[in-house]
Amino acid sequence: MEKGQYLIDYLICNYPELDAKLLLKQSVFEKSEEYLKLLHESLIVEGRVGNNDDYNYRYHLFEANSHVELVDSIISYLIREKSPNILVNGYHDPSSNSAWGSKIFNPYVSFKVNFLKNESWNRLFNRIGKIRFLNLVLNTKCFIKINDVNYMQLFGLLPSFQSNVSELLLKSRMLYRNQKRINNSFRFFSDNPIDLIDEIIPCEALKYKANLPKKFRQFKRLCNQIICNESKCNYLSIYKEICTKYELKTIKTNFDEITQISVVIRFVLTIIGKVFPLNTWGTPKNKSEVFKKVIKFIKACKSDKFPKDQLISSIEISHIYWLGKKSEIKSRQDYKLRLRLFSGFLEWFLSVYVCELVGSFWYVTEVSHGILSKDILHYPHNEWKRMTNKWLNDYIENYLVESTDNEADAFKKYNIGRLRLLPKSNDFRALCIPIKQMVGTNNLNKKEKEAQKFQYLNYMNNTIRPIRELLLQKERHKLLLNKKSHPRCFSIRDIAHNIGLFKHDLISKYTQIPKLFMLKFDMKHCFDNLSQERILKSVNDLFDEDSNDKIYYVRQFVESSFFKQELKKQRYVIKDESNVHEYNILEGQSSNFQFNESPKIIVDKAKTIRFKKSQVLEVIREHVLHSTMVLSNNTEKCFKRKKGVFQGLPLLATLCDLVYNSLVDENFQFLFKKSDSILLRLVDDFLVISTEKSQCQKVYDIALGEAFQSSGALVNTSKTSWVETTADLEVYIKFVGLKINPSTLEIMPDADSNSSFISLSKYKSFKTVYLYLQWCYKVRLADHFINLELVSFNAALKNIEIILHAIIESFYIHFKEILLRLGEFDEQSLQEFLLNLLHMTLRKYQLVNPSKFGVEEISTMFKRVIIAKLSKNSVFKKTNSWLKTSKIL
């Protein structure tokens, strides 16, 4: 949050003429405690400071004889001015909609306005006067303390949020592109250079079609040259020469059909060299720098982002003559204009030309899951089509039926998506990617497309997300009533936490870990096979106790960090008629809100959505039974499901989770008869741990039986694993990114998991890289990995080493590219970063384990891991020497 002052300090500092004693004066006839709390605990952040003339203007503008009348007058003024002041959240201006009548009103209860009219604010108004009160409400931000650490904003603009990342360049145009018809005359550009200029810098060129400005004449000559070169370039011939050389392949998996990334890069660079003349880049050195950016861009993962302001780093603009009227740069303004033009050119070059070039010859996709899931794969279009056609035909036959609905009708219900296939080793994962703009809207202008997207997002925020939150709240309430429910796991942390509790129970009973048996299995195509009837039954069971005319109220709040100027997130709080008053957190109802430990700023959007039970069930029914999918290679046909649900559409993942929760609770109650067994589930992955193998076998038999099969929960028998306690302490079972030892129940992070990879492409400096890596390290160094009640010291030490190694490895891999971008490296900042990692580790270790035991061993391990990696590069010579001699580390 921006720097603020307590209300009393703000008033005394800004209005020295005010008498502090008068402000603080108490009265036996008034609620002085609440008034003093308002002065001493409320925070004020200054905005625009008005002058005396401004005060006089406002004095005449707001005619009011009392505090309450003035607040009403302020509300009217803010609405007329269309002010973003949060005090008027939820209010409507009647001039914008005749259905609202002739008066300004708020269809929702505004607790903020009611709070601003209370006795304490009335007393403050009387003591500081009308003008100062106006300036306070209109020109500052006020935050009211609602409990020990959290604040709620009462009035003013939303807190300022800083984004550390500039505009980003994405490779989305390269991914999932359908095959084009490519022949020897294939071209990307038309014969008119103006069209190419329009494509590269549309905002500039559209104004001057009749008469191109002089500053673009050199650019036009370059475009003519590019078009001429392309007319001589036979894309197909070059592709065949570089990419289709005969190689004897043994095809065992879907990954054996890909084109190696080095071949793709060679093809792209060859084409660029033929189409774009050297004067495009100015000098061979500039050309080399651009080629490096192309290689990095092609190699990048789907999630990697490239700040646009880094595109021209290491490029010498002064040598690129076509950027201006003449070759020499005349002024600073001229230099900035050239910089902007070349930055726009490079943005188009990478995000449009290179993406479309690669996407025209390869189907580019990521892997479904596993160790390669961060990688981008390039399949020749004909191979991809051959691989997927049979699978897709079988998928349609088994799961889909052609729909009679047209695309427009399906889009209105916001439950339509487009098919996307992700390759597995010997299978595919079918995703249904939500369509935010109606299929076939290429003829719509940008404003119409944005309107469609806004309507979709509005539906998500005001219907789907509140209903999802309602379902989760109902499930939590069910858990409170049913004490014999199996643990609900939503993350790896939940898995580790429950294993820790189970281990504690075993040691309490047996004084040591007894012989254990472990069973791991997952479900085959869990979304595709799940019974629609079972989904609806599980939902109906949650709402059984509610009458058909039951009404649920969902109020929207915005939550952001108190300390960090990070982006806000939206929260939904659900009440019914009996407790709707609990929304008023300004009046002491904050205990009804679940906040995590870190301090937050809460903003009430003053928007309450009202749902009837019948409305909720109808939306769910519509999504389960009538969701629609468009095939990526055929936009004319829509398909609905014969069975199962589409993976990827909102709400459906929550519904599947409800089904598996109910299946587990209904069928595995026998595990509660003894405290020697535990069943854990994360999505469709199951883990059973027991002292009796027969218990594990019974779970497995039930999972293979009628109860699960009739619900569409089919076990993937090929992935079932059994492990038991052995003399070999190195035996582990891998489960959702963890390695679990059956002999000790110790937990390790799976170093082979794709989650160990950290991308640093979007960070602009070593400072931001260090901060991000510290954050990653802090998040990964979870309590369960170092808690000596759960793991031995040696295991804790190994866990720290695995997590540290991933951090240092990520830094080392990205070091060269960051150095190339910045051109300088300060070893002292690296040493401070490493020292921070160690101190962070020791603080966390001693917080979890109130003992100094092992501190020296941790420091020694730190040195060993870091030196082993950094000693491979002489650039880190000083740091390695510092590590070896330092007594601090």
What was the pLDDT predicted at 605?
A: 75
Q: Assign 26 a pLDDT band (cuts: 50, 70, 90).
A: low
Q: 593: number of CA atoms within 13 Å, CB side?
A: 30
**Which token pair is 203?**
């905002």
Among the ranges given (213-222, 364-373, 665-674, 756-765), the one the predictor scored with the smallest mean pLDDT: 364-373
What was the pLDDT predicted at 453?
A: 85
**790-823 per-position pLDDT tens digit:** 888 999 999 999 999 999 988 888 887 777 666 6
Among the ranges given (195-209, 237-251, 458-472), the one the predictor scored with the smallest mean pLDDT: 195-209
Give 372's contacts (C-beta < 8 A, 6+ positions apart). 255, 754
Other CB atoms within 10 A of residue 2 CB: 11
| C-alpha distances in Å from residue 566, one per residue of 162, 163, 250, 600 | 7, 7, 50, 11
Looking up tokens 């990205």, which residue turns up? 814
**Complete domains list, the chain, with CATH:** 5-155 (no CATH), 168-380 (1.10.132.70), 500-527+653-748 (3.30.70.2630), 755-885 (no CATH)
Phi-psi region of 651 (alpha: psi -120 to 50; beta: other; left: phi over 0): left
Of 361 and 106, more confident:
361
Q: Assign 568 a pLDDT band (cuts: 50, 70, 90).
A: low
Q: 563: number of CA atoms within 13 Å, CB side?
A: 4
109 pLDDT above the threshold of 70: no
How would you class 701 by CB atoms within 10 Å of its CB: exposed for 0-12, middle for 13-18, buried for 19 or more?
Answer: exposed
Amino acid at 816: K
686 pLDDT above the threshold of 90: yes
**231-267 per-position pLDDT tens digit:** 999 999 999 999 987 565 667 788 888 999 999 999 9
The percentage of the chain sitting over the pLDDT mark of 70, rounded to a whole number, equals: 84
The percentage of the chain sitting over the pLDDT mark of 90, rounded to a whole number, equals: 37
Average pLDDT over residues 82-108: 63
Q: In degrees rounded to 5, what are phi and psi of residue 725?
A: -60, 130
Other CB atoms within 10 A of residue 633 CB: 13
Closest CA to 85 of 142, 41, 39, 132: 142
**Which token pair is 218?**
């050199």
Give the H or E element holding residue 45. Answer: strand 43-46
Q: Assign 328 a pLDDT band (cuts: 50, 70, 90).
A: confident
What was the pLDDT predicted at 594?
A: 59
Burial 554-589, CB ≥16 within 10 A → b, else e: bbbbbbbbbeeeeebeebbbbbeeeeeebbbbbeee
Alpha helices in 788-850 (DSSP H): 793-822, 827-848
Q: 586: number of CA atoms within 13 Å, CB side?
A: 24
Amino acid at 248: L
CA atoms of 263 and 70, how far apart (whole Å)? 72
What was the pLDDT predicted at 100?
A: 39
Closest CA to 300 of 430, 470, 158, 170: 170
Model confidence, pTM: 0.81
CA atoms of 270 and 108, how far apart (whole Å)? 63
Question: Cβ(608)–Cβ(553) under 8 Å?
Answer: yes
Closest CA to 678 of 497, 845, 807, 536: 497
Question: Cβ(724)–Cβ(742) under 8 Å?
Answer: yes
Burial 145-168, CB ≥16 within 10 A → b, else e: bbeeebbbbbbbbbbeeeeeeeee
215 pLDDT above the threshold of 90: no
What was the pLDDT predicted at 517?
A: 94
What was the pLDDT predicted at 614?
A: 92
| C-alpha distances in Å from residue 871, one per residue of 816, 876, 883 | 15, 7, 11
Q: Assign 721 a pLDDT band (cuts: 50, 70, 90).
A: very high
Q: How far is CA 431 from the centre of its chain?
A: 18
Looking up tokens 């189409």, which residue turns up? 275
**Which token pair is 605?**
């959007």
Average pLDDT over residues 622-646: 85
**Which token pair is 308?**
């646009």
Average pLDDT over residues 463-490: 87
CA atoms of 745 and 787, how far apart (whole Å)? 13
What was the pLDDT predicted at 281?
A: 95
**Which token pair is 584?**
């008023």
CA atoms of 579 and 677, how far apart (whole Å)? 40
Q: Assign 372 a pLDDT band (cuts: 50, 70, 90).
A: very low
